[in-house]
Every structure is written in C-alpha cells, then in structure tokens.
Amino acid sequence: MLKRFFRKERHRLYLGSIVVAPRSNIKRYLDEWGVCGREDLDSSLRQSLEEIFELPPAIGALDPEDTDLVLDIVVPKFQSGDMWDVSLGVVGFPIAWRPKIKIGSRLYKLKTGETIHTATVLVKMPWKEYFSRLFTWRAFLRFKPMFDSSDMNQLLHAACLELLIKLRKVT
C-alpha cells in the first residue's frame, strides 16, 4: 500500500531536435583535405544520433501530460584526428590531434518548456589507441584517412552513453 505513495511518476520521453553544428575552425579544412570530407562526417553523426535516440517526435505528441519530457541533442564540436609533419627548412615538428566529440543535451517539460536539466559530455580517443593507429600502413600510405566516420560513430556512442547516465541520475 505504501508503494503507491512513494512510487516515482513515469515520464514519457519525446525527441525534440538533433543538431550537428557546422565546424568553423582550421581543422575543418584539414579534415576536408583528406579523403573523408566534412559533409560525410556531419551527415554520418546526425544519422547515428537519430538511430541512437529512436524516440517519438515531440511535434506529434497527442494529449501531452504534465510529466511528459522532451530531449534535445546537439553536437557543438567535433574533430577527426590526424597527424601532420610541418617542416620549416631544416627544422621539422609534428602536429597531431586526436578524434574527439562534444555532445550536449537539454531535457525540458513538453507542456511548459521549462528546462529540467542540461548536460554536456566530451569524449576523446584514448592516447594508446591514437598512437597505435599512427604506426599502421593506413596512416603511412594515406590511401584512407587515419580516422573515418566509423571511428567518430564509436566516440559518439560512448558520449551518448555517458550522457544518458547523467540524465538518468536526474529523472
């Protein structure tokens, strides 16, 4: 009998918007210069997010209740990794950056639009995995990019898992 009084309310969860922000830094051009273009990464990330968060859309919600929640997802920043060798005459030095992705979310009430929680997660490829990729034929011959959309999707899945863990603590 007491379980009825102390039971948590069940929330229905809807998907709001999914946004992958266009990149505007110099690494965008360096990624485009390789085999894998920026548009491919953007569309691949967006498609993966739609598959991960397979929820009913908030726009088509019938009979919204006070407990209904909406989840907005945004990828404000991401980069695929690479390594370049810059030579200035006799002196040369490597420039390296590893793949990373930042994902953010906003959880709010469907009826009122009141924000309940916001969270951001930044996931980077571990250094051990990054350096193991540097010394492969793929990186040496450059017939394919060192890091492609499948590597970015793997990071995206890890970031989404961390994000869902954060959101679960709130609700």
> For the segment 1-18, what is each residue's pLDDT rounded down to a tens digit?
555 555 566 778 899 999
| pLDDT above 60 for 37 | no
Question: Taking the domain 2-165, which CATH number applies?
Answer: 3.40.50
- Residue 91's contacts (CB-CB under 8 Å, 6 or more residues apart) are none
Q: What's the predicted TM-score (pTM) here?
A: 0.78
> Over the Cα atoms of the chain, what is R_g?
20
Crossing angle between the packed helical segments 38-52 and 26-33, to the nearest 10 degrees? 100
Name the average pLDDT for the chain: 81
Query: Domain-by-domain residue ranges, the chain?
Result: 2-165
Q: Which residues pair with 106 in a beta bridge?
A: 72, 118
Q: What are phi and psi of 94, to 5 degrees?
A: -85, 145
The half-sphere exposure of 40 on its side-chain side, counting CA atoms within 13 A, is 15
Tens-digit pLDDT profile for residues 55-107: 888 887 777 788 889 999 999 988 887 777 778 888 888 777 888 999 999 99
